[in-house]
Structure 1
Amino acid sequence: MEKDSEEGEFCDSSSKSISGYMDVKGSKFDESGDKHLFFWMFEKRANEGEEEEKAKDDHDEDGDEIPFVVWLTGGPGCSSTLALLTENGPCKVNDDGKSTTVNPYSWTEAAHVLCPAGVGFSYGDENDSGEEMVGEDAYYFFQAFFKTIAHRIWQGNQSPCETCDQINFAGLAIGNGLTAPEEQYKWYPEMVWNNSHHIKVVDESVYDAMKAAVPACTKLIHQCEAGDSTIDDFACQAAFVTCNIALTSPYQATGLNPYDIRKKCEVRPLCYDFSHVKDFLNLESTKKALNVDESHVHSWEACNFGINGKFHVDWMKDFSHYVADLLDAGFPALIYAGDVDFICNYLGNEAWTKNLDWSHKSDFQAAGSHDWEGGAGLARTSSGLTFLQVVDGGHMVPADQPEVSLTMLKTFLDGSDF
């Protein structure tokens, strides 16, 4: 760790935070590379009257172990700090871009929350260009982070994490993700015509054209997934271009927000105005409080579209088999999706979870969907896998349905039934 901070009053006085950089080295992709990944972590919010000492041994007031949640924003190429300050973090930036308001539905109500970022305030010799590279960096980041935190807790004495090479992984949640493109892209036509809100986004002729384009698109995606050669990379690029022209461009032509079919795209390229967040994070007082290395990083941006472009090959690759492996190893997985998101819509996410090849596939398919939390969502769950359709949630569920998203998180962390 280069620097850290424990500014208790910054953002949320009821939740201690630590921020700074972790040096990441050793990746097989760039062994001599030197990356400095920014992070911001908040401890679980202390309840009124709760003794400070009770949080130090990672147990809450009831004696239960406090969960540790890592939030990774997608894009690809967008900063987790954006989500922290607009979705599920302890505070949200006010419109003036100079102050914050405490978020009562912060995920720190349920857990310690860490937001690492390979973009935003991070810097280094080389940007990642694929999921495997991201995985390598994440592994080395967590090794450094947890060893550092262990030393802090044990006040510099010999810690029990002196040689720990494994991460105490407990479960996985994916929110409105692109996990199985060959399945996800099939559902773009239905999302613009037969969604749960009965919104006809395009004319019927456009809907018909989109349906007709699906077979050629999925064929290219299948070719992309066939292997790792240079030829396959060309197939992935071809799939990316062909599928998006045929299946996402018609939606974009409507001028609607791809993250919420009920809204217009107000501010491009992200369709939301995050200028107040950018202004806040670029304040000298904010950068000082967060220990930003201004000798290397001069300003914060929500998303790095240069990095986004480097992921066009991996974009069309299927990563659902990793979810299957985790489930078969006994780890729970929650796949949730807001039902007004177009770009990573609930129809495609539900479809790939139902078709996932794992040991309890038939049990999950037979489970059926049921009402969750009095109309807040529809859940299908069996043998550790849960799919949750969040009603009136867009691509950023914690922003659109903050109270529901916190209930969802608590249910998942508690191991309770959906």
Structure 2
Amino acid sequence: QYYDVRKECEGKLCYDFSNLEKFFGDKAVRQAIGVGDIEFVSCSTSVYQAMLTDWMRNLEVGIPALLEDGINVLIYAGEYDLICNWLGNSRWVHSMEWSGQKDFAKTAESSFLVDDAQAGVLKSHGALSFLKVHNAGHMVPMDQPKAALEMLRRFTQGKLKEAVPEEESSTTTFYTAM
């Protein structure tokens, strides 16, 4: 399937969102996040309709200005996602024109380690980071929850770039077949 080349589709969205629906269906949770009696749905038609103006629009054109202003940007992709594949994402990130483009291209990849195991491959220069997450499809947080949480935690704390360069980690790194 197009969200994860390794799996058959499960449900209408190809992932099982039943735990999420149960969690956000709980009245105490809805009250705690301030949404009252609004019903949670995994895929909202009204949200989809409201976002149609962004459908197939090139939003990459706004990213260089963020980078030039020193705003950290993280682009990530699961290595087994077909619809938003890591290689296509890596290529547009590398071809994006900004003042650090050439230095980003020359920067060595690093291991993204979680619990002393390689959870992905990271490339960072200046304010831009690109992370390919191992053993994940389109829904990285559902396929690799621990790695996704670490990615977000480190990114929001400014510690994402604290990784081990590939040359230094090659003896302890395991590789996933692609």
TM over 0.5: yes
AA aligned opposite 1:342: L
- TM-aligned CA deviation for residue 363 of structure 1: 0.8
Once residues 375 and 289 of structure 1 are traced to their aligned partners in structure 2, the CA distance between those partners, rounded to angstroms, is 36
Q: What's the CA shift string for 1:322-362, capped at 9, x where partnerless? A: 22111111222221111111221111111111011100111
1:363 aligns with 2:103: yes
Once residues 24 and 150 of structure 2 are traced to their aligned partners in structure 1, the CA distance between those partners, rounded to angstroms, is 29
1:301 aligns with 2:44: no
Q: What's the CA shift string for 1:63-104, capped at 9, x where partnerless? A: xxxxxxxxxxxxxxxxxxxxxxxxxxxxxxxxxxxxxxxxxx
AA aligned opposite 2:134: V
Can you give the 5+ residue segments of structure 2 that lack an aligned partner in the other structure? Answer: 164-178
Q: Hey, what does 1:152 align to over in structure 2?
A: none
**What SS is found at the alignment partner of 1:303?**
coil
Question: 5 Å matches for 1:17-416?
Answer: 256=1, 258-268=2-12, 270-294=13-37, 297=38, 299-373=39-113, 374-412=117-155, 413-415=157-159, 416=161
Once residues 133 and 51 of structure 2 are traced to their aligned partners in structure 1, the CA distance between those partners, rounded to angstroms, is 28
- TM-aligned CA deviation for residue 283 of structure 1: 4.1
TM-score after normalising by structure 2: 0.74
Once residues 287 and 377 of structure 1 are traced to their aligned partners in structure 2, the CA distance between those partners, rounded to angstroms, is 34
**What SS is found at the alignment partner of 1:379?**
strand
Closer, same or farther in 2 for the Cα pair 1:309/1:291, shift >3 Å?
closer
TM-score after normalising by structure 1: 0.34
Once residues 153 and 50 of structure 2 are traced to their aligned partners in structure 1, the CA distance between those partners, rounded to angstroms, is 35
- TM-aligned CA deviation for residue 275 of structure 1: 3.2
- TM-aligned CA deviation for residue 273 of structure 1: 2.8
Once residues 260 and 341 of structure 1 are traced to their aligned partners in structure 2, the CA distance between those partners, rounded to angstroms, is 5
Once residues 109 and 19 of structure 2 are traced to their aligned partners in structure 1, the CA distance between those partners, rounded to angstroms, is 40
**What SS is found at the alignment partner of 2:6?**
strand
Closer, same or farther in 2 for the Cα pair 1:378/1:308, shift >3 Å?
same
Closer, same or farther in 2 for the Cα pair 1:284/1:406, shift >3 Å?
closer
Higher relative contact order (CA 8 A, sep 6+): 2
Q: What's the CA shift string for 1:104-123, capped at 9, x where partnerless? A: xxxxxxxxxxxxxxxxxxxx
Once residues 378 and 322 of structure 1 are traced to their aligned partners in structure 2, the CA distance between those partners, rounded to angstroms, is 25
**What SS is found at the alignment partner of 1:322?**
helix
AA aligned opposite 1:391: H
